[in-house]
């Protein structure tokens, strides 16, 4: 293999063979290709693009760069869910226990926050003692006993993805659909699942800002899952407005507990039940998505979903006191209200700006080495479509540093747009891509 030749050919727009791409990724994973050459290849591919066969070969190379788990010894159809990231997206903490309580094993390998988007692992680690770093033997044991497990990426699961993502992050090559698809699907297919549900976010708080881009990504993800023999359904969901009222880590766990207890914000409940219902359907526990939604709702009503989450947390070393008594969790020492400066309808929100304000408060990382503040975040008091009076609270900022908290008041206030008439309602679910059902399961 001549790496320089591969870079040159991709730079000039040529199509590489699957064997060439697989050999390149394998050599890079073995430290036989330096970062500077791989960075050049990534930029060439970013600019020139990849045909479908090249993109699929990239996914295969990343998948087989490490261990591909075999969970056939654990009964049931294993189903996972992946979100492309958004603001206030705590759905994994809800739908995993809902699906598990309905008999569907959920082996979930999650990520940390990225940019303005919060991460499932950071939310879980706000629960004292919660261990997301289980080895694969314990991963299997917890899954077998509790029908779900929530951990982070291990050193042996898709190691090429871990290295390539770090390189993409510092070479301005993140926003490339073949790279995003290969990254997501290599990890998901390696974790031992039989089927997958995808939540592809669309809007100013998502990585895919337009519905056209989100649809292209969803179609690529579904195509990879289908080609791998894993039934895959993707939903396009709105991220022009934050999901729920809580943006942060512990406060999103708290909101998840409220939903599992039968309350919580309507948008979080709706989307959690749709995704969980689809998982229950793909997991063979319901004859349709609608039936899966009904089963999921019953698991919340009878308390089995909440008990499943508490049982999992205990199995992963958490102190469950705060889950049983959320009111005992430490509160942020600095809490500032952002108030409306006029009467009117909230016609829109800069969701990206709100996500970045939460990061600045300490709920995310500005640098790799930053420590997450579990109590930092934003509690929204009003969202798009609400009518407010001047002086009415729009949001409450939570932080551990007074100056850092004050500094975000202006940014959050500026993220709200006002008008004299109510905005047109926008659906939460914008579309679905799948080769299985066709149509809209909610019609």
Structure-block tokens of residue 8: 């040159």
Dist. CA 368–CA 354, nearest whole Å: 20
Strand partners, 297: none
Give Rg (Cα) of the chain.
22
Q: What is the pLDDT of residue 157?
A: 86
Residue 374's pLDDT band, with cuts at 50, 70 and 90, is very high
Q: What domains are defined for the chain?
A: 3-49 (1.20.970.10), 79-324+428-433 (3.40.1030.10), 331-419 (3.90.1170.30)
Mean pLDDT, rounded, for 419-438: 87
When pLDDT is cut at 50, 70 and 90, the band that residue 1 belongs to is: confident
Strand order in the sheet with 387-388: 387-388, 344-349, 416-419
Question: Can you tell me the distance from the alpha carbon of 95 to that of 403, in angstroms, rounded to the nearest whole number?
Answer: 37
Which listed residue (80, 122, 161, 267) is catalytic?
Answer: 161
Placement of tokens 């503040």 in the chain: 373
- Those residues whose C-beta lies under 8 Å from the C-beta of residue 402, and which sit 6 or more positions away, are 334
Task: Give the Cβ contact number of residue 339 at 10 Å.
Answer: 15
To the query of whether residue 161 is one of the catalytic residues in this protein, the response is: yes
Residue 443 pLDDT greater than 50, yes or no: no
Closest CA to 25 of 110, 136, 16, 169: 16
Cα–Cα distance measured from residue 367 to residue 264, given in angstroms and rounded to the nearest whole number: 32
The partner residues of 196 in beta bridges, in order of sequence, read 80, 232
Catalytic residue among 10, 64, 82, 334: 82
Answer yes or no: is pLDDT of 439 > 80: no
Do 107 and 75 contact (CB within 8 A), yes or no? no
**What is the pLDDT at residue 204?**
92
Q: Which residues contact 249 (CB under 8 A, 6 or more apart)?
A: 118, 122, 123, 125, 126, 363, 372, 373, 374, 375, 376, 377
Q: Is 183 a catalytic residue?
A: yes
In this prediction, residue 25 carries a pLDDT of: 96
pLDDT at 191: 87
Is the pLDDT reported for residue 256 higher than 90? yes
What's the mean pLDDT when you consider all of the chain?
92
Give 407's Cβ-side CA count (13 Å radius): 13
420 is catalytic: no
Whether pLDDT at 440 is above 70: no
Question: Binning pLDDT at 50, 70 and 90, where does residue 124 land?
Answer: very high
- Across 388-414, average pLDDT: 96
Flag whether pLDDT at 422 surpasses 60.
Answer: yes
- For residue 109, what pLDDT is reported? 85
Decide: 300 and 263 in contact? Cβ < 8 Å: no
- What distance in Å separates the CA atoms of residue 88 and residue 42, rounded to the nearest whole number? 31
Check pLDDT > 60 for residue 29. yes
Top pLDDT among 165 and 289 is at 289
Residue among 10, 22, 168, 245 flagged as catalytic: 168
Q: How confident is the model at residue 98, as a pLDDT?
A: 98
CA dihedral 48, 49, 50, 56 (to 10 degrees): 140
State pLDDT tens for residues 334-355: 999 999 999 999 999 999 999 9
| pLDDT score, position 48 | 96
How far is 149 from 142, CA to CA, in rounded Å? 6
Over residues 362-369, mean pLDDT: 77
CA 31, CA 28: separation in Å to the nearest integer?
5
- The predicted model gives 184-202 an average pLDDT of 93
Q: Is 23 exposed, middle or buried (0-12, 13-18, 19+ CB in 10 A)?
A: middle
Burial zone of 308 (CB within 10 Å; 0-12 exposed, 13-18 middle, 19+ buried): buried
Active site residue 168: yes
Of all residues in the chain, what percent carry a pLDDT higher than 70?
96
- Sheet containing 246-248: order of strands: 246-248, 377-380, 393-399, 334-339
pTM: 0.89
What's the pLDDT score for residue 438?
A: 56
- Among 90, 187, 188, 230, the active-site one is 187
Q: Per-residue pLDDT tens for 217-254?
A: 999 999 889 888 899 999 999 999 999 999 999 999 99
Rounded to whole angstroms, how far apart are CA atoms 89 and 118? 7
Choose, from 126, 183, 256, 272, the residue flagged as catalytic.
Answer: 183
CB-side exposure of 208: number of CA atoms within 13 Å? 23
Residues 393 and 245 sit within 8 Å (Cβ to Cβ) = no
Residue 441 has pLDDT above 50, yes or no: no
């Amino acid at each position: 293999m001549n790496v320089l030749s591969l870079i040159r050919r991709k730079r000039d727009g040529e199509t590489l063979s699957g064997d060439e791409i697989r050999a390149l990724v394998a050599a890079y994973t073995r430290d036989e290709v330096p970062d500077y050459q791989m960075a050049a290849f990534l930029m060439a591919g970013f600019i020139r693009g990849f045909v479908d066969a090249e993109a699929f070969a990239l996914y295969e190379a990343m998948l087989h760069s490490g261990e591909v788990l075999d969970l056939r010894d654990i009964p049931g159809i294993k189903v996972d869910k992946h979100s492309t990231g958004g603001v206030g997206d705590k759905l994994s903490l809800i739908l995993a226990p809902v699906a598990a309580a309905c008999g569907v094993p959920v082996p979930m390998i999650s990520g940390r926050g990225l940019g303005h988007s919060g991460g499932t692992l950071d939310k879980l680690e706000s629960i004292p003692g919660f261990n997301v770093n289980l080895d694969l033997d314990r991963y299997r044991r917890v899954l077998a006993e509790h029908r779900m497990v929530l951990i982070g990426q291990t050193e042996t699961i898709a190691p090429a993805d871990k290295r390539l993502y770090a390189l993409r992050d510092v070479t301005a090559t993140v926003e490339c659909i073949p790279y995003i698809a290969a990254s997501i699907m290599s990890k998901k297919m390696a974790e031992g699942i039989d089927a997958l549900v995808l939540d592809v976010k669309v809007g100013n708080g998502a990585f895919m800002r337009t519905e056209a881009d989100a649809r292209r990504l969803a179609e690529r993800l579904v195509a990879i899952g289908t080609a791998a023999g894993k039934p895959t359904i993707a939903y396009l969901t709105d991220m022009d407005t934050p999901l729920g009222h809580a943006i942060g880590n512990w406060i999103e766990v708290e909101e998840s507990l409220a939903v599992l207890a039968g309350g919580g914000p309507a948008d979080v409940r709706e989307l959690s039940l749709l995704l969980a219902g689809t998982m229950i359907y793909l997991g063979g526990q319901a004859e349709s998505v609608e039936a899966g939604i009904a089963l999921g709702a019953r698991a919340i009503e009878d308390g089995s979903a909440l008990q499943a989450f508490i049982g999992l947390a205990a199995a992963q070393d958490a102190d469950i006191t705060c889950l049983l008594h959320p009111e005992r969790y430490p509160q942020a020492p600095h809490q500032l209200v952002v108030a409306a400066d006029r009467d009117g309808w909230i016609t829109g929100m800069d969701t990206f700006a709100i996500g970045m304000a939460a990061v600045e408060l300490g709920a995310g990382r500005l640098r790799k080495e930053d420590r997450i503040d579990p109590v930092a975040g934003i509690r929204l008091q009003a969202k798009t479509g609400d009518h407010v009076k001047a002086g009415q609270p729009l949001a409450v900022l939570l932080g551990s540093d007074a100056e850092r908290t004050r500094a975000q008041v202006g940014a959050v206030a500026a993220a709200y747009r006002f008008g004299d008439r109510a905005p047109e309602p926008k659906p939460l679910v914008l579309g679905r891509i799948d080769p299985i059902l066709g149509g809209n399961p909610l019609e």
